[in-house]
Structure 1
Amino acid sequence: MKFGFIGTGSMGSNLVLAFVHSYAMQPDRIIVSNRTRDKAERLALDCPGIHVSDHNRDTAKKADCIFLCVKPGDFRQVLDEIQDVVRPNQYVISITSPVMIRDLEEHLDAKIAKVIPSICHAALSGNALLIPGTRFSDEDTQWLYQLFSCISKPLYVDEAHTRAASDLASCGPAFLANILEQWIQAAVKETGLPVETATSLVEQMIVGTGKLLTENGFTLQSLQDRVAVPGGITREGLHLLDEAFIPCFTRLFQMTHMKFSEDLRNVQQSFQRAEKNL
C-alpha cells in the first residue's frame, strides 16, 4: 500500500516520522506534498526514501491511503485540487478536527475517516482518536485500528465528542507542559532551587507517575490517596489545587469549544461559498 500525506507541518511530519520509526510504513511507500516544498524536503531528509511531490493532485493520484494534514482554512482548496482524482477504493483520513465527515463524504468519492493524532505518537504512545465514516466497512475499521496501534493506543470516539477528547489527548501534552513549566518557575522563584534541579525533579516525577498509572495498577485517585495522608502537606496542597484548577479547567474547555465553533463556522462558510460559485 502507498501512503500520501498532504501537509507536512508539525502534526503531518510527526505522523510520518512515527509510522516510519514504528516500521508501520516504509519510506519508499510514502509520498508527501506541502504548500511550502521546503518543509516536505526537510522531512524527506529525515526519512530517506520518501517521495516529494510538487502537487497535491499527484499525491492523491498515486496513494492508496491519503492523509489530509492541513489547516481548516486551507481545506476547501485542497479538496478542490484532489476531488476529481480520488477513487472509491481509496482511504482518505483527515486529521483536521472542525472538518466534518459528512462534508468530506459529500465532496470526495472515497472511504473517509477522521483521526485526531497526538504529539505523543513520536514516542509511540498516547491515544489516536478514531472516527470512521459511513463508507468504512468492519474490515476497513479494523485496518485503521491496526495501523494506528503501531504508534498509539487507538480509541474510538463519537464525532460529537471530538473537541473534548482532543483537548485531553491532542492539546493535553502542551497544557500539561505549561503547568509543569509554571510549577518549576514558582519553585525557583519562591525557594531559590536551581532551575536545573527543579526541571530534573519534575521530569523524572512525570516519568515515574506515568509508569505507576500504566504499569503498576494505580488510578489517578488511588495515587492521590497513597501520597496524601490526612493532615499532611500533600493533602493541603491538593485542597489548594482543587480550588484553583476546577474553575481553570472549566474555563479551558469553554475557550477551546468557542474556538472550535468559530473554526467550524469558517469551514462551513468556505464550503457554502464554493458551492455558490459553481
Structure 2
Amino acid sequence: MAKIGFIGFGSMATLIATKMLEEKIASPEEIIIYSSSENEHLKKFYDEYPTSELAANEAEVFTKAEHSFICKLPLAVLPLVKDCAAVLTSERHVISIAAGVSTDDILDIVPSLQISKLIPSLTTAVGVGTTLISHSDKVSKNNRQWLEQTFESFGHVMTIREENIDIASDLTSSSPGIIAAIFEQFMEAALRRSSLSDVEVFQMINFALAGTSKLLVEEDYTFSGLIERVATKGGITAEGVELSHKELPAFFDELLNRTQDKYAISKQEIETQKRDLLS
C-alpha cells in the first residue's frame, strides 16, 4: 500500500493531511506521520484517525512513503535530509514546505533525490486560494502530476520558477494575514468615528471582502474594472480611491522590501548551515 508521509505535524501539515482525507486522495491507513513531539495538532488528528500510522523516526517515513512532506522549520530541513541521506534514494519523492530552503540546497546534500517545493495557503482550508509548486529537474512526470493534481482538489495550483517563489509567497501564503491586518485598521478607524459596535463593523467589512472576492472571481472583474464600476467620478468612493493611489504604493513597496529582506536573512542562514554540513 503506497503511503503519504509527514515529518513534522503542526498546523499546516494537519491541514494538508486532513484535506487529503476529506478529498479521498488517501485513506487514514495510507498516512504515516513522524513528529518529535506529541503536540495538540497530532493528538487531535490521531484521535480522529487512529488507523493512521505513527512512525518511530524520520527515516521510517521516507522509507515507507511514496511521497513525503517535510513540514519543519527552515533550519531543521538540511540536517534532517543529511541524517536520512542513506534512505533518500533516487526513487523517493520529497516535498518541502519550508520558506528559504531551495530545492538546490537540498540537492546539495542529497543529489539524487526527487525534490519539490510547495508553498501552501491557509485559505485552502475553505477550498480557495493558491498553492505554489516548484519541482527540481529530477522529479518524474508522474510525481509532478500527483502533487499538482492533489492540490488542485484543494483550490488553485500554480507551478512557477523557483526564483519567483518568495515574492509569489507574499501574494498567496502571506496575503491573508496582510489583508486581515489592513482591514483591521480600517475597522479601528470606523470605530473611532461612529457608535457602531465591533461586531457590526466587522460584519460590514467581512461581507464586503467576501462580495468583492466573488465579483473578481465569478464576474471576471479586474481591480481597475471594479474600481471604475463603484467609484463615480467626483463621488465619495473616488476620494478613497484617490487617497489609496497616493499613499499605498509606498506602503506596499516597503512591505515587500521588508519581506524580501527577511527571506534574504533566512537564505544566508541556510547557506551558512549548508557549508557547515558539507564541510
TM-score (norm 1): 0.94
The residue identity in structure 2 corresponding to 1:134 is D
Q: Deviations over 1:1-25 (max 9, x none)?
A: 3100111122222212222222222
Equivalent residue pairs, number: 276
For the structure 1 residues 206 and 104, does the alpha-carbon distance in structure 2 shift closer, same or farther, using more than 3 Å as the test? Answer: same
Q: Are 1:116 and 2:119 an aligned pair?
A: yes
* Counterpart for residue 32 of structure 2: 31
Q: Are 1:128 and 2:166 an aligned pair?
A: no
Give the conservation status (yes or no) of the 8 Å contact 2:62–2:92.
Answer: no
Q: Are 1:49 and 2:43 an aligned pair?
A: no
The residue identity in structure 2 corresponding to 1:50 is S
Question: Shift of residue 35 of structure 1?
Answer: 2.3
The residue identity in structure 1 corresponding to 2:138 is R
Mapped partners of 2:65, 2:143: distance in 1: 16
Question: Shift of residue 147 of structure 1?
Answer: 1.4
Mapped partners of 1:175, 1:84: distance in 2: 41
* Counterpart for residue 84 of structure 2: 82
* Counterpart for residue 153 of structure 2: 150
In structure 2, the gaps of 5 or more residues are none
Question: Shift of residue 49 of structure 1?
Answer: 2.8
**Could you say what secondary structure the match of 1:96 adopts?**
coil
The residue identity in structure 2 corresponding to 1:44 is Y
Mapped partners of 2:117, 2:273: distance in 1: 19
Mapped partners of 1:203, 1:46: distance in 2: 31
Question: Shift of residue 122 of structure 1?
Answer: 0.7
* Counterpart for residue 71 of structure 1: 73
* Counterpart for residue 234 of structure 1: 237
Measured on the aligned residues, the alpha-carbon RMSD in Å equals 1.5
Question: Shift of residue 118 of structure 1?
Answer: 0.5
Q: Are 1:217 and 2:215 an aligned pair?
A: no
Mapped partners of 1:180, 1:52: distance in 2: 41
Question: Shift of residue 110 of structure 1?
Answer: 2.3
Question: Shift of residue 107 of structure 1?
Answer: 2.3
For the structure 1 residues 28 and 178, does the alpha-carbon distance in structure 2 shift closer, same or farther, using more than 3 Å as the test? Answer: same
Give the conservation status (yes or no) of the 8 Å contact 1:56–1:81.
Answer: no
Question: Shift of residue 244 of structure 1?
Answer: 2.3
User: Could you tell me which of 172, 175, 179 is aligned with 1:172?
Assistant: 175
Give the conservation status (yes or no) of the 8 Å contact 1:7–1:68.
Answer: yes
* Counterpart for residue 15 of structure 1: 16
Question: Shift of residue 46 of structure 1?
Answer: 4.1
Mapped partners of 1:190, 1:52: distance in 2: 54
The residue identity in structure 1 corresponding to 2:123 is C
User: Could you tell me which of 197, 201, 217 is aligned with 1:198?
Assistant: 201
User: Could you tell me which of 234, 240, 247 is aligned with 1:244?
Assistant: 247
Mapped partners of 1:9, 1:175: distance in 2: 21
Mapped partners of 1:80, 1:138: distance in 2: 26
Give the conservation status (yes or no) of the 8 Å contact 1:22–1:124.
Answer: no
Q: Deviations over 1:136-191 (max 9, x none)?
A: 23343222221111112110111111110000100001101111111112111221
The residue identity in structure 1 corresponding to 2:26 is M
Identity %: 27
The residue identity in structure 1 corresponding to 2:154 is I
